[in-house]
């Protein structure tokens, strides 16, 4: 890339000197025509005007007409008022060279040389023939040599331009790549500061692409990216440009003099809509969604890096809001980003400084109304910020992979607490959530086995909860891991069942003991017939597959009555108890068991 840029700069320097030569040559030719010809000499005033017009017009047709008229002026003057060879032989060598500059890689220079020679051939005196032949050979040779050199110079120029274009183009999608993106916004910066056109950046991330790429293979993943890129390219105009900046990340730059925000909103909705449309590839149908962040250049203090960062922050807000949506950058996000950065930096030291603690939410037998187990929930008590909700730090821990150490700590503490309850005569099954990041980057089986061994807790008193999305990311590895855990007596539960992919194939293959109905279906199951049917279906499905079913987020008696009617096995929620400390669980066991 550096070599290409250096070569292009050299070509620009050469262009400057070529242009300078052109203007000097036109002046010298005009001076000769004007000073040597006696007839209609003022007609030659049109010559420099025609040549300047030919040099600067962008219309190829007009350029050719101007060149023809200027050459016709010289040829006509040579026939009507012929000059001696001595008067013109030096200056007229410049004429083919000017046409080389106007029409590189063409026959114009050689044709102009022959035309000039032909005007003198008919008026040539016998004593001048040898000189004419000598001058003609010289003119044709110089014209031919210069034409060949111009041809190769143009070829090199176009080759360098093509190399540069290829280096800034994504090979797969043929959209401009990250280099092209940064180059274009650097050029845009000058235009934005001079025209004051409002400009927005859309940062696009494809949700679910990793799942397709990992499970279906890179070939299918590439085809999906190409299809999405074609859909994105269909939106391009003079004021809209799309880019692939890496992996499943794309960007769109919009310049609009009026109603920019409305245009950006409309464009985002269109992208979300066509991203969600099925991708029909290899006789199968694939689905994606898009999360989009939008940032204005005017909010970036004139700095492109800040502009890109702002759009990136807004895009992650869209992901946090459930994906398949778009979000504008605002200054509130800056404060959230600063807080997120602070939490990320302090998270590991918080574990060392014992700022984390566990609460336990009871699981209750629907029929008996007694506690049948608990779910361990981690909390962070920050010395300055107070209690930080899990929703604020779990995602940070997963992104930084600090969830591996934190998850191991939660598992260890849960097992120790289970052993303390067991020693006190209370058998309490403890559920612990395991993150997809832990499953991907840690030996979960060894981690859980070590925790059980160190605490001397029987495996049947531990339950491990995973989400459907975690299963989809590495199903074969998970099947092996949880088959080993079941051999230790540990039970496996699918958390938030029904909100992700709900593949019956995975229910058939995975060693699963418990299905947990997500709170979103429980909330309106009394008033919403569809939600009630989902609850009924999950309960029946679980029972038919030999699994027990737990409902999450039960908050009133009507919900509990419906769950009892549908045959649900367990529930947890504020109706019975919010998450409480271990001593409070002991009190509940004695009072409500």
Delimit the CATH 3.20.20.450 region(s) of the chain.
340-592
Beta strands 240-246 and 199-207: pairing type?
A: unpaired
**Contact criterion met (CB below 8 Å) for 242 and 251:** yes
429 burial level (CB within 10 Å; 0-12, 13-18, 19+):
middle
Delimit the CATH 3.30.70.270 region(s) of the chain.
178-329
In words, the CATH class of domain 178-329 is alpha beta
**Contact criterion met (CB below 8 Å) for 2 and 161:** no
List per-residue pLDDT tens for the chain, 593 residues long: 445 455 545 545 677 778 888 888 888 888 887 887 777 778 888 888 988 998 888 888 888 898 888 888 877 877 777 766 665 566 677 777 787 778 776 777 777 777 776 666 555 555 555 655 666 666 667 667 666 666 666 676 666 666 666 778 888 898 999 988 988 888 876 665 555 678 899 999 998 888 888 777 888 888 999 999 999 999 988 889 999 998 899 999 998 777 888 999 999 999 999 998 888 887 788 888 999 999 998 888 778 888 998 899 899 889 888 889 999 998 777 777 777 778 888 888 898 899 999 999 999 999 999 999 999 999 999 988 889 888 888 988 988 889 999 999 999 999 999 999 999 988 999 999 999 889 888 899 999 999 999 999 999 999 999 887 777 666 677 888 888 999 999 999 988 776 655 556 667 777 889 999 989 899 999 999 999 999 999 999 999 999 999 999 999 999 999 999 999 999 999 999 999 999 999 888 876 54
Which of 314, 319, 312 lies closest to 290, judged by CA? 319
SS3 126: helix
The predicted structure's pLDDT at residue 61: 87
583 burial level (CB within 10 Å; 0-12, 13-18, 19+):
exposed
The third-level CATH classification (topology) of the domain covering 340-592 is: TIM Barrel (3.20.20)
The predicted structure's pLDDT at residue 446: 95
Distances (CA, A) of 463 to 185, 351, 373: 52, 23, 9
**Contact criterion met (CB below 8 Å) for 197 and 257:** yes
The predicted structure's pLDDT at residue 593: 46
- The Cα 6–Cα 10 span in angstroms is 6
């Amino acid at each position: 890339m550096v070599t290409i840029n250096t070569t292009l700069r050299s070509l620009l320097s050469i262009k400057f000197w070529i242009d300078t030569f052109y203007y000097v040559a036109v002046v010298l030719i005009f001076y000769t025509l004007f000073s040597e010809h006696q007839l209609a000499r003022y007609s030659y005033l049109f010559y420099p005007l025609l040549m300047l017009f030919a040099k600067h017009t962008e219309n190829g047709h007009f350029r050719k007409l101007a060149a023809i008229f200027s050459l016709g002026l010289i040829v006509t003057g040579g026939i009507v008022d012929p000059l001696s060879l001595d008067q013109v032989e030096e200056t007229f060598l410049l004429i083919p060279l000017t046409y080389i500059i106007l029409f590189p890689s063409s026959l114009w220079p050689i044709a102009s040389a022959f035309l000039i020679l032909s005007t003198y051939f008919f008026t040539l005196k016998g004593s001048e023939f040898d000189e004419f032949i000598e001058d003609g050979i010289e003119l044709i040779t110089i014209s031919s040599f210069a034409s060949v050199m111009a041809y190769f110079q143009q070829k090199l120029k176009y080759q360098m331009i093509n190399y540069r274009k290829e280096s800034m183009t994504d090979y797969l999608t043929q959209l401009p790549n990250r280099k092209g993106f940064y180059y274009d916004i650097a050029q845009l910066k000058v235009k934005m500061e001079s025209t004051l056109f409002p400009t927005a950046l859309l940062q696009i991330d494809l949700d679910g692409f990793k799942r397709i790429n990992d499970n279906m293979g890179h070939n299918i993943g590439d085809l999906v990216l190409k299809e999405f890129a074609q859909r994105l390219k269909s939106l391009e105009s003079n004021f809209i440009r799309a880019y692939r900046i890496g992996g499943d990340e794309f960007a769109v730059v919009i310049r609009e003099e009026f109603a920019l925000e409305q245009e950006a909103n409309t464009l985002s909705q269109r992208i979300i809509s066509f991203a969600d449309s099925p991708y029909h590839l290899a006789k199968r149908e694939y689905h994606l969604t898009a999360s989009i962040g939008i940032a204005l250049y005017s909010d970036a203090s004139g700095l492109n890096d800040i502009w890109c960062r702002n759009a990136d922050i807004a895009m992650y807000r869209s992901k946090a809001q459930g994906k398949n949506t778009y979000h504008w950058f605002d200054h509130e996000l800056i404060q959230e980003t600063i807080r997120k950065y602070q939490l990320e930096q302090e998270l590991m030291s918080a574990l060392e400084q014992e700022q984390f603690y566990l609460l336990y939410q009871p699981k209750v037998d629907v029929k008996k109304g007694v506690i049948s187990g608990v779910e361990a929930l981690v909390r962070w008590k920050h010395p300055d910020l107070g209690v930080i909700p899990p929703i604020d730090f779990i995602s940070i821990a997963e992104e930084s992979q600090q969830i591996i150490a934190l998850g191991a700590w939660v598992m260890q503490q849960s097992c120790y607490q289970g052993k303390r309850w067991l020693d006190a005569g209370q058998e309490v099954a403890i559920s612990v959530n395991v993150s997809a990041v832990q499953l991907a980057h840690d030996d979960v089986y060894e981690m859980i086995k070590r925790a059980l061994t160190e605490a001397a807790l029987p495996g049947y008193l531990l339950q491990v909860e995973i989400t459907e999305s975690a299963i989809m990311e590495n199903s074969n590895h998970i099947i092996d891991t949880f088959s080993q855990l079941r051999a230790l007596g540990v039970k496996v539960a699918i958390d938030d069942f029904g909100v992700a992919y709900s593949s019956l194939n995975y229910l058939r293959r995975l060693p699963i003991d418990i299905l947990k109905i997500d709170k979103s279906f429980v909330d309106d199951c009394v008033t919403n017939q569809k939600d009630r049917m989902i609850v009924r279906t999950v309960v029946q499905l679980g029972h038919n597959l030999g699994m027990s079913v737990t409902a999450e987020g039960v908050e009133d008696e009507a919900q509990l009555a419906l769950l009892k009617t549908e045959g649900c096995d367990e529930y947890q929620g504020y109706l019975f108890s919010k998450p409480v400390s271990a001593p409070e669980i002991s009190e509940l066991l004695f009072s409500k068991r």
